[in-house]
Amino acid sequence: ATPTSIMVGTGKAAELGILFRHGEALQTLNSVRAVIFDKTGTLTLGRPALTDLDPSPGFEEAELLRLVAAVETRSEHPIAQAIVEAAKAKGLKVPEAEAFEAVPGFGARAQVAGRRIEVGADRFMAHLGVPISPVAHAAEQMAAQAKTPLYAAIDGELAGLLAVADPIKPTTPEALTALHRTGLKVVMVTGDNRRTAGAVAAALGLDDVLAEVLPDGKAEAVKALQQRYGRVAFVGDGVNDAPALATADVGLAMGAGTDIAIESADVVLMRSDLRAVATAIALSRAVLNNIR
């Protein structure tokens, strides 16, 4: 493509809320074989809500939520926000937490009213040596409905099973259909539970899923997918998407995402609507095929 045609293409893209940070990305996009999406905040709204709260025998619902919310008040994870909001909605008084610690990709913990509270994924409980088998079946059923099951432990004992659900953006199905129509593979990479990810993948008709990817494993996941598909684009919004955005042949960040994601990307999508990804690819093809 000539410098002029690239300028025309990126100008047209900008009018549509698609900011190319350099012209090369417009050319590279044309040769991409698969588009990899982060789940939370990219395919989904990124605003999970608490859907389930099941205390273990001997534990009380309001007390469980109060203690878990105390920990999550200190966390910046979107899941934490869902739990804090649920406690607020129930009018619970949330106590102060001490010695808070986030364990990225696993969960969070703190001391609350002299008790040790831990909340997170099944792998967090496995790491802590807290058995979750009594609720394994219930958790599987939640995950099959695309909910993310969470486990709470009080002083090392399983105190409850919770779940959050993060709705898919209304425009996501159409965005993925458009990509499929242009012959691209559509893939999801997420830190979420394997079964939850599988349910989301089935609902969206995804071609491939990598689940339970730890925060620092996303770039490696992109490399593995490059081996499988050839050139890839990665679309994400979070702090832990930055290495994947930089590793992909083309990184596209949501404009509403974190600064570090935007800085690591080649393209910034001003609207949180993934239909812009197919539009960007169509523009790339138009520039390379017609105006050459």
Contact flag: residue 79 with ligand ADP (CB under 6 A): yes
Secondary structure class of 177 (helix, strand, coil)? helix
Residue 215 contact among ligand ADP, Mg ion, none, beta carbon within 5 to 8 Å by kind: ligand ADP
Among 9, 41, 55, 120, binds Mg ion (CB under 5 A): 41
Least distance CB 50 / ligand ADP (angstroms): 11
Contact flag: residue 215 with ligand ADP (CB under 6 A): yes
Active-site annotation holds for 38: yes
Least distance CB 89 / ligand ADP (angstroms): 18
DSSP strand pairing (185-189 vs 34-38): parallel
Which residues on adjacent β-strands are paired with residue 50? 164
With CB under 5 A as the contact rule, which of the stretches 96-104, 154-162, 233-241, 267-275 interacts with Mg ion?
233-241
Contact flag: residue 148 with ligand ADP (CB under 6 A): yes
Contact flag: residue 107 with ligand ADP (CB under 6 A): yes
Which residues on adjacent β-strands are paired with residue 91? none
- Asked if residue 226 lies in contact with residue 175, where contact means CB atoms within 8 angstroms, the answer is no
Locate 127 and state its tokens: 């790491």
* Residue tagged 């690239």 (tokens): 6
Point out the residue whose Cβ comes nearest to Mg ion. 41
CA distance 43 to 168: 6
Point out the residue whose Cβ comes nearest to ligand ADP. 191
Contact flag: residue 121 with ligand ADP (CB under 6 A): yes
Least distance CB 6 / ligand ADP (angstroms): 35
Among 5, 190, 247, 258, binds ligand ADP (CB under 6 A): 190
Least distance CB 112 / ligand ADP (angstroms): 14
The secondary structure element, H or E, covering residue 215 is none
Q: Which is nearer to ligand ADP, 20 or 106 (CB)?
A: 106
Q: Where are the alpha helices (DSSP H) in the chain?
A: 3-15, 24-29, 61-72, 78-89, 122-128, 136-144, 172-181, 194-204, 218-229, 242-247, 259-264, 275-289
Least distance CB 135 / Mg ion (angstroms): 27
Q: Which is nearer to ligand ADP, 8 or 168 (CB)?
A: 168
Helix axes 61-72, 78-89, angle to 10 degrees: 140
> From edge to edge, which strands make up the β-sheet containing 267-269?
18-20, 267-269, 250-254, 232-236, 34-38, 185-189, 208-210
The site for ligand ADP (CB under 6 A) is made up of 39-40, 72, 75, 77, 79-80, 105-108, 119-121, 148, 150, 190-192, 215
What are the residues binding Mg ion (CB under 5 A)?
38, 40-41, 237-238
Catalytic positions are 38
